[in-house]
Amino acid sequence: MKIRILSRNNRLYSTRRLVEAAKKRNHEVEVIDPIKCDLIIEKKKPTIYYKNHFLEDTDAVIPRIGATITFYGTAVVRQFEMMGTFTTTESQALVRSRDKLRSLQILSRARLGLPKTVFTNYSKDVSEILEHVGGAPVIIKLLEGTQGLGVVLAETQNAAESVIEAFNGLQARVIVQEFIKEAGGADIRAFVVDGQVVGAMKRQGKEGEFRSNLHRGGSASVIQLTDEEENAAIKAAKAMALGVAGVDMLQSSRGPLILEVNSSPGLEGIEAATGKDIAKTIIRYIERNV
C-alpha cells in the first residue's frame, strides 16, 4: 500500500513514528509538505503536483496539519478525497475541529458534558457574561489559540472584566468558560482511533500553572478511564466525525466535561505515558479501510 503523510517536518516525533510503523507493516510511505503541493483542478481528473511529479496511486493519507496552515492543508486533503484516496481525517472534520465555537456547538448538540461557555459579539456588558458562567474565577480563551496559548485564568471579577475588555478592544474573539476547580490543574487526553479508545493519559500542570499542556511543562501519566469517561471520548470523536482524535476532558463533580477534540493529536506524550504503539494502531486503521 502507498501511504502519504501530510506533514511540514519529517523530523517531528509523530511523523517519524508513523513512517516507522508503516514501513514495519511493509507499506510504501512518503512524507509530503502540504504547502508545497500544487492542486490541479479540472473536469474528471483532479490531481496534485509535488516536487516535479504527480502524486498518483495514493492509497491513503494521514493529515498532520498544523493550525497555522489549516486553510491550505485542508484544501490538499480535500483534493486527495476528490481523487478517491482514503484519509484518516476527513477535510470537513478537520475544518470543524479547528473552530472552537463550532466544535462546542456540535458537542452540545450531542448532549456531551461541557464547561459552561459564553460567546458574544464584543458585548460591553462584561459583568453579565461572567454571571452566565457563575462568576470569577473564569477561563478566557482566544478562539484561535493552540497548545495553551491565548488561554487566561482570571481569578477575580475585576481581572476577568479587564481581560475581556482588553481582548474586545483588540477585536480578538474569545470564549469565556467556567473554571472547574475540582480538576486541580489536570485534564485527561483520550486517544481515539476508529471509534475505540486506544490509550489515555492524565496531564498535570506544573506547580502554579492551571494549563496542563505538555508543551507548557506539564507531566503525563497513564490513567484507567471510567466507563463514563471512555464513552464520552468515543461519543465526542464520533460527533466530530474524526477517525483519529485526541479528546481532552476535565474530571468534575458532574462527570467528564469535554474541553476540546483535537484532529491532529501528538503521539509523543501518549506513547510515552502508556507504552502503547499508537502509530501502529493508526496504520492498522488504514489497512481495515483501504
pLDDT, tens only, 90-109: 999 999 999 989 999 999 99
How far is the CA of 201 from the CAs of 56, 161, 175, 213, 270, in angstroms? 38, 34, 26, 12, 6
- How, if at all, do strands 86-87 and 60-63 pair? parallel
Q: Does domain 117-179 have CATH number 3.40.605.10?
A: no
Confidence category of residue 147, pLDDT binned at 50, 70, 90: low
pLDDT, tens only, 195-229: 999 999 999 876 655 555 555 557 789 999 999 99
- Residue 243, CA atoms < 13 Å, CB-side half-sphere: 18
Sorted by where each begins, the domain ranges of the chain are: 2-96, 117-179, 182-289
The matching CATH number, chosen from 3.30.470.20, 3.50.50.60, 1.10.630.10, 3.40.50.720, for 182-289 is: 3.30.470.20
User: How many residues in the chain?
Assistant: 290
Closest residue by Cα to residue 100 from 263, 270, 215: 263
pTM of the complete model: 0.89
Confidence category of residue 146, pLDDT binned at 50, 70, 90: low
Q: Provide the pLDDT for residue 145.
A: 57
Alpha helices (H) in the chain, listed in sequence order:
13-24, 70-82, 91-98, 100-109, 126-132, 157-169, 227-239, 268-274, 278-289
Q: Provide the pLDDT for residue 122.
A: 80
Helix or strand or coil: residue 207? Answer: coil
What is the CATH architecture of 2-96? Answer: 3-Layer(aba) Sandwich (3.40)
pLDDT, tens only, 17-67: 999 999 999 999 999 999 999 999 988 889 999 999 999 899 999 999 998
Q: Provide the pLDDT for residue 7.
A: 97
Task: Share the mean pLDDT of the chain.
Answer: 92
Cα-to-chain-centroid distance, residue 84: 25
